[in-house]
Structure 1
Amino acid sequence: MDIALTGGSSFLGLRLAAEFLKRGHRLTLLATDDPATVRARLLRRLKLLGYPVETVAEDGADLDATYVDPEAPHLGLGRIGWEALAERFDVLWHCPAGLDISGAPDFAGGVPAKGARALLPLAARGSRTTAFHQVSTVLAHGAQEPGTVREHCDVLKQGAPRNPYEKAYADADQYVDIVAAQYSVPAVVHRTGILITDLAPHPELPQHSLAQAAAIAGRLFATAEQGYHLTLALPGDPEGSLNLLPVVSAAQAMADIGECAQEPGARLVHVVNGRNTPVSRALNAFEQLFPVRLKLRPPGAAYFPFEVRGLPGGLNGVLPYLRQHHSYETNALRDFGVPVTSPAVTLNYLVRGLRGAGTEAARFPEAPRARATAAPLTLAP
């Protein structure tokens, strides 16, 4: 197949690119930077991840990159160039980049809806059938009652986003659902579990969200006094759980889905781990790495025995996930005949993926500061 991919520099995009190339597909990176630079960066990052680039890409014969501008009419290619691009691909993957602390530029600045609006008309334009795949997250479901989150596309019109991150993906997914039906484009919205890895962080590789949190924590505790040990009480539920999914497992399943024939219109699929990870296990991983003890208490006020300043985005946005009780329907995976095969997300797995992230303080231009304070800081859930 001839595949186009945005977000090839992102945490998931790198693994998707590797899957496509290993399977012998022709891959074109849609880039907002110099195409040669983007192509070289992908090959370099694949090598850092341990992929044998000479066999994955066969010296790059199946890997191309082309410059596009998602802000411009016809992607900045002119009508003739845009229509020629629309005829090239069997599958178009939109993989929005999440927060990338390394600052690498990516398609549409990591804004999911902006990229979807730029790319879905491209999939609809050509005379050949081009399937469109939107990478999303189960967090885009927003606030849900405890229990099983359904997989029907009506769910895309529901939910109450709890933060800008969830809203950004929910808006993009709703756009794909509406426009794919309008243009009769085969489209799949992949809502993935929270993607992680047990590979140690590397300065040139984008990090997953837990590693980013570990880096923030490392910067914070680097300013604390020697021998300082904290006990933090957070509003949450010791019985809560998160769907943590190793990123390679996600990429393999998604590439399998991309090879399946699809009917016109959008289809929602939950690409998730069959087993949730207790919230307490994720917190235990941070306790293994930092001089802190984290306690979950019923929703209400939580108290920090020190003052926190300068944390990117604050902490309020993550608090709902500490009391989450969700599982996810996976009928679409069954219909596609695609399993999600994942290693166990054990405490050791989590610690391996976080160790080292907490020492990369140089990646942050300004340090959050911690100091003892007589009055506890109240953190509202």
Structure 2
Amino acid sequence: MTSAVTGATGFVGLWLLAELLDREDRVIVLARSGPAPVLERVAAFLRARGAPPGDLHALPLRVRVVHADITRRDLGLDPGDRATLVRETTVLWHNAAHTGLSAVSAEVRRTNLAGTRNVLALADHCPGLRAFRHSSTFAVAGRRAHGVIGDDDLDDSHGFCSEYERSKYDAEVRVRRWAAAHPQCDVLVFRLALLTSDLPPYPGAPAQPLVVARDTAAWLVERYPQVRAGIAVPGDGDAPVNVLPVEHAARAMADASSKAVGIPMRTLNVVAPDHVPARLLVEAVAERVGVPCVLDPRLPDLRAPGVLGDLVPGILPMGRMTRTFADTALTELGLACPREPAVDRDYLRACLR
């Protein structure tokens, strides 16, 4: 079996790659070239996780890097690389995504929807392909604010808070259509919670969502110094948010992939068993940037100019939602994400250091 992975140098992708390397002799990484060579980025992550020197030394023998761009037809692959990839791949993991919350960004749609289409087109040409794995997000629920979101729920009638949510919803729809046309291929869609990590930062580490929120808040404080005295934003501090340590998500994905062999297409909510109150997240970020912040459900929705006008609609609606997420499909596979470490104030502080 040979797995090929897109997005393997991103926040989720690195943890997933580590799980796959624990299970497989060799993995193909499809990645764009960056400031540092791909293997150096992978090695830096594994070193930060405490990988022994022998594992790092063997990395070039176990990870084959293929430079690719999912936004381009045929992923922009060199003909020789494409021929090898098509011939060898038996499991294709599509993990690459643009996670920006801008409501208007064409780049988000090009990466998340057109990119998924291009990866599926490549899958069409892999004669030995046995399984397709797609990383999605619990945010495909969009503006649906209440009730329990099941694994198979996929409904756009509530609308979406951002182009990110809409593009990931549309990508799921496309994957479902592809799965229906390829019944011989095992297809899993993983809907991931808000993922985070308390792994200490290291040079070149990809940004995680909470750190992006922290850095955005710090930028706003610098640009609008009047908020240093404190700010109130619309939302209920008790609103539940599903926050999951990324290592639990990656392990659940890899375990589910091993167990879900020979079954029909399935969607799995990869979520924490407990939810975190929104105030805990807001307070953790606010403490880190030194600005008191409270959630007030009586306040009207914010209207903001410029960059804030893109970010606010994608973030703040979660503070008014009571929805939760079921993990029925994981349970049916005999899996569940653990409760430890607890995502409490100390854990969030560690994530934001």
Aligned to 2:104: none
Aligned to 2:131: 131
Tell me what 2:352 maps to. 354
Instruction: Report 1:72-83 matches (<5 A).
Output: 72-77=72-77, 82=82
Deviation at 1:252?
Answer: 0.8
1:333 to 298, 314, 330: 330
Alignment CA distance shift 1:53-1:269 (3 Å): farther
Could you tell which deviates more after superposition, 339-348 or 260-269? 260-269
Partner of 2:88: helix, strand, or coil?
coil
Shift of 1:308: 8.4
Q: Aligned pair in 2 of structure 1 residues 308, 341: CA closer, same or farther (>3 Å)? A: same
> Distance in 1 between the 2:73 and 2:351 partners?
41
After TM superposition, the structure 1 stretch with the greater mean CA deviation from structure 2, 41-50 or 164-173, is: 41-50
- Distance change in 2, residues 1:299/1:70 (3 Å): same
Aligned partner of 2:193 in structure 1 is 193
Match of 1:207 in 2: 207
Q: What is the identity percentage for the equivalent residue pairs of Structure 1 and Structure 2?
A: 29
Q: 2:320 aligns with which of 309, 323, 330?
A: 323
* 8 A Cα contact 1:123 1:130, kept in partner: no
Task: State the alpha-carbon separation in 2 of the partners of residues 215 and 167 from structure 1.
Answer: 25
Matches within 5 A, 1:12-51: 12-33=12-33, 37-51=37-51
Given the two structures, how large is their TM-score scaled by the length of structure 2?
Answer: 0.86
- AA aligned opposite 1:350: L
- Deviation track 1:4-63 (CA, whole Å, cap 9, x = no partner) reads 0010111000111111112234110112338x9223322233323443363267343211
Give the CA deviation at 1:300. 4.2
- The one-letter code sitting in structure 1 at the alignment partner of 2:295 is L
Distance verdict in 2 for CA 1:293–1:260, change over 3 Å: same
C-alpha separation in 1, matches of 2:256 and 2:238: 33
- What pairs with 1:213-252 in structure 2 (closer than 5 Å)? 213-222=213-222, 229-252=228-251
Instruction: Give 1:299-314 correspondences, 5 Å limit.
Output: 300-301=299-300, 311=308, 313-314=310-311
Give RMSD over aligned pairs.
3.2
| Paired residues of 2:90 and 2:130 also in contact (CA < 8 A) | yes
Higher helix share: 2
SS of 1:125's equivalent in the other structure is coil
**Could you say which residue in structure 2 is the equivalent of 1:378?**
none
Query: Which residue in 2 is equivalent to 1:5?
Result: 5
Question: 1:44 & 1:30 partners in 2: Cα distance?
Answer: 18
Deviations 1:216-241 (A, max 9, x none): 22233346769x84231211112201
Are 1:117 and 2:108 an aligned pair? no
Q: Which residue of 1 aligns with 2:287?
A: 288
Deviation at 1:93? 0.6
Offset from partner CA, 1:89-139 (integer Å, 9 cap, x none): 221111124448xxxxxxx99822222211223334333242111111101
Structure 2 contact 70–116 (Cα < 8 Å) conserved: no
Unmatched segments (≥5 aa) in structure 2: 101-107
Q: Which residue of 2 aligns with 1:375?
A: none
Q: Is the CA contact (8 Å cut-off) linking 2:145 and 2:320 kept in structure 1?
A: no
Q: Is the 8 A contact 1:22 1:57 kept in 2?
A: no
More moved, 159-168 vs 266-275: 159-168
Query: Which deviates more, 189-198 or 179-188?
Result: 179-188
Q: How far does residue 80 in structure 1 lie from its aligned partner after superposition?
A: 8.2
> Is the 2:72–2:115 Cα contact (8 Å) retained in structure 1?
no
Which structure has the bigger radius of gyration? 1
Structure 1 pair 299/190, CA: closer, same or farther in 2 (3 Å)?
Answer: farther
CA contact (8 A) 2:141 2:154 kept: yes
Cα distance in 1 for partners of 2:3, 2:305 equals 46
The residue number in structure 1 matching 2:58 is 58
Q: Deviations over 1:246-293 (max 9, x none)?
A: 111111111111212434653110000000001111122134323322
Partner AA of 2:11 in structure 1:
F
Could you tell me which amino acid in structure 2 is paired with residue 128 of structure 1? G
Shift in alpha-carbon separation, 1:26–1:326, aligned structure 2, 3 A: same
Q: Please state if 1:167 is matched with 2:158.
A: no
Shift of 1:331: 1.6
Q: Distance in 2 between matches of 1:352 and 1:115?
A: 34
Farther-moved stretch of structure 1 (70-79 vs 323-332)? 70-79
Q: Is this contact kept in 2: 1:2–1:91, CA < 8 A?
A: yes
1:379 is aligned to none
> CA 1:159/1:95 → structure 2, altered by over 3 Å: closer, same or farther?
farther
- C-alpha distance in 1, partners of 2:300/2:17? 44
Mean alpha-carbon deviation: is it higher for 8-17 or for 142-151?
Answer: 142-151
What is the rounded CA distance, in whole Å, between the counterparts of 2:79 and 2:263 in structure 1? 25
Deviations 1:296-344 (A, max 9, x none): 222542689xx98755833232110112212112121022222212410
Is this contact kept in 2: 1:29–1:39, CA < 8 A?
A: no
Q: Which one-letter code corresponds to 2:213 in the other structure?
A: A
Counterpart residue identity of residue 320, structure 1: P
